[in-house]
Amino acid sequence: MGKKAKIGVINVSDRASKGIYEDIPGKACVDLLNEWLITPFDVEYAVVPDEQDQIEDKLKRFSDDVSCSLIVTTGGTGPAFRDITPEATANVCQKMLPGFGEEMRQASLKYVPTAILSRQTAGIRGSCLILNLPGKPKAIRENLEAVFPAIPYCIDLIGGDFLETDESVMKAFRPKK
């Protein structure tokens, strides 16, 4: 058996980080990854407050020290004053991939008109794809379903871990060789 892939999950929430709220969004991400991926993977997990320096520190640690090929964040993508996850992501990435955010907003608009307020984004740090998701489990599924078909190939292109999906539940796209 080869090495396991490494995936980071960071829930950005003032209240969850203080134990006021249960950390439901982060767990929802892990559940989806377990549902869709057949590649064995380890999860590096954190719950942090809406503090830009703490978010950036976790993103850098998970990418650089833990060698995650994918990091998904939940929460902090709205227009409220404390919502700064996209700014933290942009600060630590070498390249931004705006198509991910555009596609997630399009998917969300099918369900709620307020999707235009969302600021989900994605970027690359080294050989790691960082993806910002909303903070509600239903929206996490809707958004991640919209973009996940492109994620394994994106990670291939940047030299990350090979991720294979269970094609009966999530078909990833890779060009024919």
pLDDT digits 0-9 by tens, 104-119: 999 999 999 999 999 9
CATH of the domain at 25: 3.40.980.10
- Domain membership of residue 167 (yes or no) is no
CA distance 117 to 66: 32
Is the pLDDT confidence value at 28 over 80? yes
Burial status of residue 45 (CB atoms within 10 A of its CB: 0-12, 13-18, 19 or more): middle
Average pLDDT, the chain: 95
* 92, amino acid identity: V
pLDDT digits 0-9 by tens, 67-84: 999 999 999 999 999 999
- Domain membership of residue 90 (yes or no) is yes
- The pLDDT of residue 23 is 86
Burial status of residue 27 (CB atoms within 10 A of its CB: 0-12, 13-18, 19 or more): middle
CA distance 145 to 171: 10
Domain housing 57? 5-157
Share of the chain above pLDDT 70, in %: 99
- Domain membership of residue 176 (yes or no) is no
Is the pLDDT confidence value at 123 over 70? yes
Helix or strand holding residue 47 (H, E): strand 41-48
Phi, psi (deg, nearest 5) at residue 83: -80, 100
- The pLDDT of residue 2 is 64
- The pLDDT of residue 177 is 78
Give the count of domains, the chain: 1
Q: Could you tell me if 164 and 133 are in contact, meaning their C-beta atoms sit under 8 angstroms apart?
A: no
- Domain membership of residue 170 (yes or no) is no
Per the confidence metrics, is the pTM higher than 0.85? yes
Q: Could you tell me if 26 and 61 are in contact, meaning their C-beta atoms sit under 8 angstroms apart?
A: no
